[in-house]
Amino acid sequence: MPPSLLSEVGVLRDGAAIPYDEVRDRLRREVLRASVHVEGNFTKDRAEIVFVASGNDLEETERALGWVRAFLTHPDWRAENLPRLRDVTAERATALDDVMNGPEETWLDDAALAYWRQDHPVEAHARSPLTRAYDAHRLAWLLEGSAGRKPLAGFLETLAGAGKKRDRAFLSALAGALAALDRAPPAPVPRGLGGYLAAARRLPAPMRASAQRPSSIA
């Protein structure tokens, strides 16, 4: 679970929901810091969720502790707040997808350690960007609900058929065409790709974004 699902979805206090926008503004005004993150250590075989609360004086520090307590015990995970939960999960999945576009020294060691120490899955879920990206996409998929997942599931089944019948060159071309679906100018479609691209365009926008990720075809 991304720690942002504790700190960035709003909280429930005294039976009332405080939306994330208000929580964010109040944190800026009231405390020095109140945040949540996950740490893992393959060497020590340890993974933990870390809550940080700090203030410029005793009163402010106590308010920060109150906020992190609310994050831990009363995050707004109600069905009524599902749109925010989906947004946070999708944002996290996108951010993790982009990790490997950054400097290798910022992510390669954790990915290598996760591959080497596959007997320590908890640490992999805490530190490996690849495992964490999988977790975020999996959660985003589950939050869509069975009805919401149906169109994308059908499209992915079509892609699965392509994976069984087509060669690597075709699949690479398909991945590139899907990734450029919304931004490329009209151009002749390579033979055999038209049906897949048309099916992708028929998907609702959020699902189309999922279909356009190369990982969907891997």
139 belongs to a structural domain: no
Cβ within 8 Å of residue 13, ≥6 positions away:
70, 74
106 belongs to a structural domain: no
127 belongs to a structural domain: no
213 belongs to a structural domain: yes
Q: 185 is in which domain, residue-wise?
A: 147-218
What local confidence, expressed as pLDDT, does residue 211 receive?
65
Give the DSSP per-residue string, the chain.
--THHHHSS-EEETTEEE-HHHHHHHHHHH-SEEEEEEEEETTTTEEEEEEEEE-SSHHHHHHHHHHHHHHHH-B---GGGHHHHHHHHHHHHHHHHTGGGS-GGGTHHHHHHHHHTTT-HHHHHHH-HHHHHHHHHHHHHHHTHHHHHHHHHHHHHHHHHHHHHS-HHHHHHHHHHHHTTTTSPP-PPPTTTHHHHHHHHTS-HHHHHHHHSGGGT-
Reduce the secondary structure of 174-216 to three states and give it as a string. HHHHHHCCCCCCCCCCCCCCHHHHHHHHCCCHHHHHHHHCHHH
Q: How far is the C-alpha of 175 from the C-alpha of 162, rounded, in Å? A: 11
Can you give the pTM of this predicted structure?
A: 0.67
Last-in-domain residue among 55, 78, 101: 78
Last-in-domain residue among 40, 57, 78: 78
Counting the structural domains of the chain, the total is: 2
61 belongs to a structural domain: yes
What local confidence, expressed as pLDDT, does residue 202 receive?
78
Are 10 and 20 in contact, with CB atoms under 8 Å apart?
yes
Last-in-domain residue among 78, 109, 128: 78
Exposed/middle/buried for residue 63 (C-beta within 10 Å: 0-12, 13-18, 19+): middle
Low-confidence ranges of the chain (pLDDT < 70): 146-149, 182-190, 205-206, 208-218
91 belongs to a structural domain: no
What local confidence, expressed as pLDDT, does residue 218 receive?
40
What local confidence, expressed as pLDDT, does residue 15 receive?
80
- Here the tokens at position 36 are 């949540």
Task: State the first-to-last Cα distance of the chain, in angstroms, to the nearest integer.
Answer: 23
Q: How far is the C-alpha of 185 from the C-alpha of 182, rounded, in Å? A: 8
Q: How far is the C-alpha of 189 from the C-alpha of 200, rounded, in Å? A: 14
165 belongs to a structural domain: yes
119 belongs to a structural domain: no
